[in-house]
Structure 1
Amino acid sequence: MPLTGRWTLTRYLIEERRRYPEASGELNALLLDVSLACKAIARIVACGPLGAASQPGAAGAVNVQGEVQKPLDVLANHVFIRMNEWNGHLAGMVSEEMEAPFQIPDSYQRGKYLLAFDPLDGSSNIDVNVAVGSIFSVLRAPGEAVESGRDVTADDFLQPGARQVAAGYAIYGPSTQLVLTVGNGVAVFTLDPNLGEFILTQRDVQVPADTQEFAINTSNSRFWEPPIKRYVDECLAGRTGPRGKDFNMRWIASLVAEAHRILMRGGVFMYPRDTRDPGRAGRLRLLYEANPVGWLMEQAGGRASTGRQPVLGVQPDGLHQRVGLVFGSRHEVERIERYHAEPGSREPGVALFGERSLFRD
């Protein structure tokens, strides 16, 4: 398809910048470098077992999450760093694969933004050729850190999701797409492999307020809190149950793929807080998974929550903090929040099986 009449990512960002005459263009340049990292990772992922990351000796170590790094996790993290460390727009970076913030080398200029990212979400799906992706979040660095040029600290990144200035993800599937918000709705760009450009293919994405589709890992049902068990039981009861309609259930085990499906056609995703590990509030990471996905959902008219509060309002207390996450079609997420707020909703650590459940052992 000819480029004439189509908007590239560059043009889209320029048009968005015109809404803010005082803007310097640094955010645009940063996002273009992030998109370049995503293009490079897309090419690597597309090679699959033919790529360098699959060769002997490419295995990863254990990351800060206690997870064994797959070779592509390590390589994707390296790509994100190399593509963004030099541009002069960042004060520092943090990712799932690094325990501490990455400091911009002294040989490069430092900027006013912070970048948090999951370089390869859903990498466990690589072996079975299922869609994976990269997630990113951009924050402003504290003013005094920018002015002094000091090294960034973990505390600099501990900002609630409502302070994000840009967020998005790339999904590497049958086509590579970049989904982005800069605070003015959600736009989707598709990578044209002939031009090597991300082309705008959808803007002002809206998540339907109602749905008949939900996603949750039912193997964890014995650990769920009562509000989640109640919600899932009601969905599974179908047309003859209290909801009066049939629901379909999905589970891909890739946050990017789940989010993309919901943005495109609605649904609700749940990876809730549970009782499996009382010391851990959830599974997904707040800074570079829940916050960027949550902001995309909110910008598209959906809702994102921990079940107890809007996820964008959570004050982080650690770089790799985990939270429970529920997002998607607004009316369904609000229903789940109501169930959590009702009297008698039990807190973690209290027995879960006081009520009948389709998942009861």
Structure 2
Amino acid sequence: MGRCRIRNDIILSSLRSSGKVAVMASEEDGEPVWLTDNGPFVVVTDPLDGSRNIDASIPTGTIFGIYSRLSELDHLPVEEKAQLNSLQRGTRLLAAGYVLYSSATILCISFGSGTHAFTLDHSTGEFVLTHPTIRIPPRGQIYSVNDARYFDWPDGLRQYIDTIRQGKGKFPKKYSARYICSLVADLHRTLMYGGVVMNPRDHLRLVYEANPLSFLVEHAGGRGSDGKTRILSIQPVKLHQRLPLFMGSSEDMHELESYDNIQQKVNPGYEV
């Protein structure tokens, strides 16, 4: 059994035993799982983000979002109401967060009034509030993207990266590249230091990754976008719907979005 499957089953078992969750939708499952008719909450999750990095001891994470169960759907068949409950717009999130497994184990969460990070104290088994009310700097000096794909990018994205690398953008300092290829880790650094983290391809999933992480970023004062549209305003139409994702400091994001043609809509042959 793969590591992602094990992580998925642990989360599913915990949510089932809580009695509080009606349905869980996971990146690891083809369809959402209905748990209980009386549960008030819906949970969407990417159980193990960055799983390809585990054998290299690179940070990984778990991403989650929490919605209210839509009681007006209770009369529908189980499969249908499970699906529709899981396809809620990001603006309806009650809470979202991630757990970062790195040199420290960090829980970063927002309940809609600020973004806060807690660090696991291994001596007590408790998470201690270490970063209350995180505010992402309005400007950073770091961009995070797979630069190896530079020649496949659309013109607008290449122009933006060329401009900020040379210090010729609206922020007159040269930007540096920092790319871990673990979305939770790249975003955590961006929350701390500012800048932008992005994948311009139709690669990241709206339900499990883009919505929960954009919720966190917005409540820390930043912005999440597909390059044109606010992520949280996009209505999901499929459970595993993919899209480009750009998140980060508000001023950096507005500058990035001012460029036309930053979404990479053509896959030149590498794996999704």
Decide: shared fold, TM above 0.5: yes
Q: CA deviation at 1:347?
A: 7.8
> Which digits, 9 at most, give the CA deviation of each residue in 1:155-183, with x for residues without a partner?
22111111100000000111101000000
Matched, 1:84 2:15: yes
Q: CA deviation at 1:200?
A: 1.0
Distance 1:149 1:90 in 2: 17
Residue in structure 1 matched with residue 269 of structure 2 by the alignment: none
Q: Which of residues 54, 58, 71 is equivalent to 1:143?
A: 71
Following superposition of structure 1 onto structure 2, how do residues 1-361 of structure 1 map, counting pairs within 5 Å?
A: 58=1, 71-104=2-35, 110-146=38-74, 150=78, 152-238=81-167, 244-273=172-201, 282-340=202-260, 345=261
Going from structure 1 to structure 2, the CA distance change for 1:132 and 1:346 (only over 3 Å counts) comes to closer
Contact 2:138 / 2:249 at 8 angstroms: preserved in 1? Answer: yes
Distance 1:346 1:197 in 2: 42
Going from structure 1 to structure 2, the CA distance change for 1:287 and 1:346 (only over 3 Å counts) comes to closer
Residue in structure 2 matched with residue 23 of structure 1 by the alignment: none
The secondary structure found in structure 1 opposite 2:7 is helix
For this pair of structures, how many residues does the alignment match? 266
Q: CA deviation at 1:243?
A: 5.5
Going from structure 1 to structure 2, the CA distance change for 1:150 and 1:144 (only over 3 Å counts) comes to farther
TM-score (norm 2): 0.91
Q: CA deviation at 1:349?
A: 6.5
Contact 2:33 / 2:82 at 8 angstroms: preserved in 1? Answer: no
One-letter code of the match for 2:24?
M
Distance 1:142 1:331 in 2: 36
Distance 1:328 1:180 in 2: 16
- Unaligned runs of at least 5 residues, structure 1: 1-57, 59-70, 274-281, 351-361
Distance 2:76 2:161 in 1: 51
Contact 1:178 / 1:189 at 8 angstroms: preserved in 2? Answer: yes
The secondary structure found in structure 2 opposite 1:210 is coil
Contact 1:238 / 1:247 at 8 angstroms: preserved in 2? Answer: yes
Distance 2:189 2:263 in 1: 31
Going from structure 1 to structure 2, the CA distance change for 1:88 and 1:214 (only over 3 Å counts) comes to same
Q: CA deviation at 1:80?
A: 0.5
> Which digits, 9 at most, give the CA deviation of each residue in 1:264-290, with x for residues without a partner?
1112111113xxxxxxxx110001100
> Which digits, 9 at most, give the CA deviation of each residue in 1:84-140, with x for residues without a partner?
012221111111100001121xxx563121100000000111010011010000111
Contact 1:131 / 1:257 at 8 angstroms: preserved in 2? Answer: yes
Contact 1:137 / 1:164 at 8 angstroms: preserved in 2? Answer: yes
C-alpha RMSD of the superposition: 2.2
Q: CA deviation at 1:141?
A: 1.8
Going from structure 1 to structure 2, the CA distance change for 1:294 and 1:96 (only over 3 Å counts) comes to same
Could you tell me the percent identity over the aligned residues? 37
One-letter code of the match for 1:236?
R
One-letter code of the match for 2:130?
T
Contact 2:24 / 2:33 at 8 angstroms: preserved in 1? Answer: yes
One-letter code of the match for 2:162?
D
Q: CA deviation at 1:260?
A: 0.6
Distance 2:122 2:171 in 1: 45
Q: CA deviation at 1:154?
A: 1.6
Distance 1:233 1:269 in 2: 16
Bigger RCO (CA 8 Å, 6+ sep): 2
Between Structure 1 and Structure 2, which shows a larger proportion of strand residues?
A: 2
TM-score (norm 1): 0.69
The secondary structure found in structure 2 opposite 1:284 is strand
Going from structure 1 to structure 2, the CA distance change for 1:237 and 1:72 (only over 3 Å counts) comes to same
The secondary structure found in structure 2 opposite 1:269 is strand
The secondary structure found in structure 1 opposite 2:218 is helix
Going from structure 1 to structure 2, the CA distance change for 1:260 and 1:85 (only over 3 Å counts) comes to same
